[in-house]
A and B are shown apart, each in its own frame.
Chain A
Amino acid sequence: MLLKKAKAGALLDAIAAKERLFVPADDRGTSRFVAYGAGVEPRFDLLNTKLPPKDLLFPATETLYRWSRDGADLAIDSAFAETDPFTVFGLRPCDMASVDRLDAVFLTKGYVDEFYQAKREAATFVAATCAHPGRACFCDSIAASPHEAPTADVLLEDAGEEWVVTPQTEKGASAVEAWKPYLEEGDAEPIKAACDLKVDMAAVPEKLKGMFDDPIWSDIGDQCLTCGTCTFVCPTCYCFNIDQDVREDEGKRFRCWDSCMFTDYTAMAGGHNPRASKESRVRQRFMHKLTYFNDRYDMNLCVGCGRCMRDCPAAVDISLIIDRIAASEPAQEKEAMAHA
């Protein structure tokens, strides 16, 4: 089945008439996934949006429960709510791979986060492949392929003027069934240019285990501003804080995104901070992305979308960091050389 790009608008209107629909679009000079509706022009030509789609499953601020007090009576109400079905149309394979990572964190290893789960189960993901990946794209050597998104409900393969439409899950099959009036029979050849930028991850997770005291971290620390840009534009960074908003007799607890780049992220009661230095915070970020997460979930926490390198005010480049780790001598050999 084919979907002519020129006719996508009619399909989007039909989906939006039924449920909430999110598409990549410009937003006040930036871009992100916005609710489709009047005045929203989808930007399917953007390789990936400035802000990732993670907030659709894991909002930047999310109320967990509310409390109120009336004399001696205390009431606590969960803020959990079921989520109505919604569709995310046109996310890229890297972003779909990021959803796989968020799923692993919020749904596996013995704990299910019900707030995340409600949104995840309500979501239909329609992934669009990248005919021509951008210069900062390196998904195909770290986490994904620009031309596949195996866990998406529907895959749209870019064939130029049209997409080749393939349902990949049951949810996707029923979605595509409903799209029939807007699709055409036929076949087309998807365009499949590879990423120019490649990294060699093969030895990186293991090598990093011996690099806790490597000079690489102070070098990156010299460059890095330790602002939170990389963590907030990253589609997989999932760290959060829990805080509260308290009025006299009522209040709420909420969780909100946090960043391991911030000094207060690890501030302890009493004032000690185990990651007071920039280099220790930088090390944590890349260790987590490239080895700690692998240990726990057997995949890299970087999906190669390139957002952090594109938006970093100090041009910190994770692909160069991976290169340097890959080229470094294993710690034992370094030690052996030092004693030789």
Chain B
Amino acid sequence: MADVQDIIRERAAALLSSGEVSAVIGWGVGRFDDVRFPLVVKRAEDAGKLVFDASCVQMTAKRLLEHTGDGKVALVARGCESRAVNRFIADHQLTRDQVYVIGVPCPGMVDPATGETLKRCAECQVRNPVVHDELVGDPVPEPKPYRFAEVDRVEAMSREERRAFFDEMYGKCIRCYACRNACPCCTCRECFVEQDKVGWQGKAFNVNEARYYGMIRAFHTGDRCIECGECERACPMGLPLMVIMHQQVRDIDKLFGPYEGGGLTDSGPDPLRTYKTDDIEEFM
């Protein structure tokens, strides 16, 4: 991937020095060799700080929304980031001309803690960017691994086991909201969590408040989820959040399909929010 990294640096420097973009979003290296972080480069001379290798674990696209006000912004985008770009466009968070997509086919990232393929990459359905202004590197095969194994496991549980599974999951949640802040679907200017006067979300820390938060967020993003898995990766407590998102994707496919997940195009479809006069439901 060294060649890809070199090209990304060259292109970032060129885009910044020509003034075509005001910032390039990619990854930088932390203090330790295996640590990467989302890096927003704003000066051509800093383009050399950008890296691209198998340790770039974060899905960085959410940063786009913080910088598009300053002019066109470039995003180094793998499959996941490119689906996020489509997501933002479909959700009217930005327009296509506000973003310059440096597409990078992705071989999958490695979890530095275990040395194994990152879980969100092992479940990835779209490694090649679905939208890009230029492509760096050659397209990679799309193995489309089965991503519902955990859903199958939870579905096969008895009611009591399932209850215990979710109690354990939300019993660990510290409600840091990292999942929400990392999520490309969570773009509400004001999250229901912060609507204090209405008081949807209690402030106390307990399993009920955590479960309530988790369920509302899941439903709120259900038919838009791009399955990037960044919520689960960002979670400091290791909650298996994608089991809920994958369950919804599969249910939507069965009930309203064919449906393969969000962000594959920049205009949906987002089945739970799409109005059709010929809807199968008679009340429509």
Contact = CB atoms under 8 A, between A and B. Distances in A.
B181 A227 contact: yes
A254 B37 contact: no
B205 A314 contact: no
A243 B37 contact: no
A317 B178 CA distance: 16
A268 to B, nearest CB: 11
Given A229-B236, A263-B194, A315 B35 contact: yes
A228 B204 contact: no
B234 interface: yes
B78 interface: no
A223 interface: yes
Interface string B220-248: 00000000000001111110000000000
A222 B40 contact: yes
Contacts of A50: 236-237
B280 interface: no
Q: How large is the interface on B (under 10, 10 to 19, 20 to 34, 35 or more residues)?
A: 35 or more
A327 interface: no
Contact of B178 (A51, A222, A257, A313): A313
A243 B178 contact: no
Contacts of A258: 203
Interface string B185-212: 0000000001010000011111000000
A30 interface: yes
B53 to A, nearest CB: 15
B57 to A, nearest CB: 9
A222 B58 contact: no
A226 interface: yes
Residue among A28, A61, A225, A228 having the largest count of chain B Cβ atoms under 10 Å: A225
Nearest to B237: A30
B171 A28 contact: yes
Interface in A7-56: 27-30, 50-51
Nearest 9 Cβ contacts at the A-B interface: A313-B234, A227-B178, A315-B37, A228-B176, A222-B40, A243-B203, A225-B181, A60-B205, A311-B236
30 contacts: A28-B171, A50-B236, A60-B205, A61-B205, A135-B32, A222-B38, A222-B39, A222-B67, A225-B178, A225-B181, A226-B181, A227-B180, A228-B177, A229-B236, A243-B204, A245-B202, A256-B203, A256-B205, A257-B205, A259-B176, A262-B194, A263-B194, A278-B66, A313-B58, A313-B234, A313-B236, A314-B38, A315-B30, A315-B35, A316-B37
Interface of B: 30-32, 35-40, 58, 62-63, 66-67, 168, 171-172, 174-178, 180-182, 194, 196, 202-206, 233-238
Interface of A: 27-30, 50-51, 60-61, 135, 197, 222-223, 225-229, 231-233, 241, 243, 245, 254, 256-259, 262-264, 267, 278, 309, 311-317, 319-320
